[in-house]
C-alpha cells in the first residue's frame, strides 16, 4: 500500500513511501531528522542515535519485530464447537525470556550515508515461539542545490520465524489453542518480515 502526502511548513515536501507500522514510523521520523540535521551541520550527528528501544511484557498480544500484531490470545479459550468447554491459556503463552527490540543509527561522516542496525530478541513460550531477527537500513540525502533536496531510505527486518505448537487433549488430538478448534482448521497468520522504502523530495523557501 502506498501513500502520497504533501506537507508545507517553510517549504514543501513530496513523500512516497510504503505503509508502515507505529514503531517503523517512529524510526523513519528519527532518520529524517538526522538527515536534515546533518545537512545543516554534520558535526551534530556524529554519535549513534537510538530510534527504537522497547521492552515487551505483554503475554496476550503478540507482535513481530516491526511492532505489528500477528496474534491475540485470550486468557481463557472457549471451544469453537461447544461454548461450555473452556481452558486457561495463560501458562501456555507466557514468554519464558525477556523480550526487547532496539534500532541504532549512525551517520558515516565521509559518505554521509546513514546506517541503521537493530535487533529483536524474539520469544519462547510453550505453544508459540518467534525467532530473533535483525534490522538493516540505509538512508541518504542528495542535495540538488541549496533549496532542493532528495532523500532516499530503506529498512527491513530479517528472520523472526514464527512457530506454533498445538494443544493436545487426553486422546492426543491436536487443537489450535486460542479457540480449541481442530489444528488443521487454524487460521493462517501473517508473519512476513516487514520492510519499507521511502523517496522524499523537499523544497525549502
The domain ranges of the chain are: 2-204
Paired with 91 in beta bridges are: none
Reading the block at residue 9, the C-alpha cell is 511548513
Chain centroid offset of residue 194 CA: 6
Which residue has cell 471451544? 79
- Report the 10 Å Cβ neighbour count for 25: 14
- Ordered per-residue pLDDT tens for the chain, 205 residues: 333 333 333 333 344 434 444 467 788 888 988 988 888 888 888 889 998 888 877 678 888 888 788 898 988 888 777 778 888 898 899 888 888 999 999 998 888 899 999 999 999 999 999 999 999 999 998 888 877 888 899 999 999 999 999 998 888 999 999 888 899 998 888 888 888 888 888 777 6
CA nearest neighbour of 27 among 153, 182, 127? 153
Q: CA-CA distance, 193 to 21, in Å (whole number)?
A: 12
Residue 96 phi, psi (nearest 5): -95, -10
Would you say the C-alpha torsion 51, 134, 195, 55 has a positive or negative sign?
A: negative
Q: What pLDDT shows up at residue 6?
A: 34
Reading the block at residue 97, the C-alpha cell is 525470556
Q: CA-CA distance, 34 to 63, in Å (whole number)?
A: 27
Q: What pLDDT shows up at residue 16?
A: 43
Q: Are 122 and 130 in contact (CB under 8 A)?
A: yes
Q: CA-CA distance, 203 to 184, in Å (whole number)?
A: 55
The Cα-based distances of 190 to 21, 45, 119 in angstroms read: 14, 37, 20
Amino acid at each position: 500500500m502506498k501513500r502520497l502526502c504533501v506537507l508545507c511548513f517553510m517549504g514543501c515536501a513530496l513523500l512516497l513511501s510504503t505503509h508502515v507500522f507505529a514503531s517503523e514510523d517512529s524510526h523513519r521520523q528519527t532518520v529524517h531528522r538526522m538527515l536534515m540535521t546533518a545537512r545543516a551541520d554534520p558535526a551534530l550527528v556524529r554519535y549513534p542515535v537510538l530510534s527504537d528501544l522497547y521492552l515487551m511484557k505483554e503475554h496476550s498480544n503478540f507482535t513481530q519485530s516491526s511492532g505489528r500484531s500477528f496474534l491475540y490470545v485470550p486468557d481463557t479459550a472457549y471451544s469453537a464447537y461447544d461454548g461450555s468447554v473452556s481452558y486457561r491459556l495463560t501458562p501456555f503463552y507466557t514468554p519464558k525470556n525477556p523480550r526487547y527490540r532496539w534500532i541504532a543509527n549512525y551517520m558515516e561522516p565521509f559518505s554521509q550515508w546513514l546506517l541503521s542496525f537493530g535487533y529483536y530478541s524474539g520469544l519462547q513460550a510453550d505453544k508459540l515461539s518467534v525467532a530473533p531477527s535483525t534490522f538493516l537500513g540505509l538512508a541518504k540525502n542528495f542535495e540538488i542545490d541549496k533549496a532542493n533536496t532528495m532523500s532516499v531510505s530503506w529498512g527491513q527486518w530479517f528472520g523472526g520465524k514464527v512457530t506454533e505448537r498445538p494443544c493436545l487433549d487426553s486422546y492426543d488430538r491436536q487443537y489450535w489453542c486460542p479457540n480449541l478448534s481442530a489444528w488443521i482448521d487454524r487460521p493462517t497468520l501473517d508473519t512476513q518480515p516487514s520492510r519499507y522504502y521511502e523517496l522524499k523530495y523537499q523544497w525549502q523557501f
